[in-house]
């Protein structure tokens, strides 16, 4: 049986739901755009509160065999602006081009995160620690110790993550991209 995009979206939504016990995640949500007035489909929406303020994060899941390009990032940013979210995260099965990572890394209001995430039906991806945008922690410590992994997750995700998230990251099916500090 072929792995289909809707199952990939659901798998991403389930993963995102495991990130923080204090948030709610809705898969396949529809929202009327504030700018366009058109009904927009969102793969998943995460909502919660940070410092007493409501925060919304739009999740997009791309089950492409190829790398996500800068055009896809631009489309995602346009959708986020239209629906009025605080930030977005794009999960991709095939990775990202350098241009896409640069565009996402420099996006502001809303900010964009990129995550390489292979579907459970696919072979486990190998992690290339020299990829542009890979975190400094991953470059310095390719073989994580328990302490280094926790420090990395605290930096990327935060302290309020669930145990399921740590299991997912240890599975080797992912790569988190983070803009280098000081890079413009």
pLDDT in tens, 36-61: 999 999 999 999 887 888 889 999 99
Mean pLDDT of 1-15: 80
Structure tokens at 16: 């995102």
At 18 the pLDDT is 80
Does pTM surpass 0.75?
A: no
Does residue 175 register a pLDDT over 80?
A: no
Of 154, 125, 132, which is closest to residue 20 (Cα–Cα)? 154
Top mean pLDDT of 109-113, 133-137, 159-163 is at: 109-113
Which residues face 30 on adjacent strands? Answer: 41
At 29 the pLDDT is 95
Of 15, 14, 5, which is closest to residue 176 (Cα–Cα)? 15
Name the pairing type of β-strands 39-50 and 24-32.
Answer: antiparallel
Q: Tens digit of pLDDT for each residue in 124-157?
A: 333 344 444 444 434 443 443 455 455 545 555 5
Residue 76's H or E segment, with its range, is: helix 70-83
**Rg, C-alpha atoms of the chain:** 16
What sign for the dihedral angle of Cα 118, 121, 122, 125? positive
At 100, is the pLDDT very low, low, confident or very high (cuts 50, 70, 90)? Answer: very high
Specify the higher pLDDT residue, 6 or 120.
Answer: 6
At 131 the pLDDT is 41
């Amino acid at each position: 049986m072929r792995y289909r995009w809707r199952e990939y979206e659901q798998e991403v939504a389930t993963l995102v739901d495991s990130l923080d016990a204090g948030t709610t995640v809705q898969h396949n949500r529809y929202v009327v755009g504030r700018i366009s007035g058109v009904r927009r489909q969102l793969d998943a929406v995460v909502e919660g509160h940070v410092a007493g303020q409501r925060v919304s994060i739009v999740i997009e899941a791309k089950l492409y065999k190829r790398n996500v390009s800068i055009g896809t990032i631009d489309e995602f940013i346009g959708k986020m602006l239209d629906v009025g979210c605080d930030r977005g995260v794009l999960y991709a099965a095939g990775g990202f081009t350098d241009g896409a990572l640069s565009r996402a890394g420099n996006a502001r209001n809303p900010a964009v995160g990129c995550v390489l995430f292979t579907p459970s039906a696919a072979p486990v991806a190998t992690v290339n620690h020299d990829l542009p945008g890979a975190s400094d922690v991953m470059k310095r410590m390719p073989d994580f110790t328990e302490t280094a992994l926790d420090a990395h997750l605290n930096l990327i995700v935060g302290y309020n993550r669930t145990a399921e998230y740590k299991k997912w990251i240890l599975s080797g099916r992912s790569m988190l991209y983070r803009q280098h500090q000081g890079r413009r």
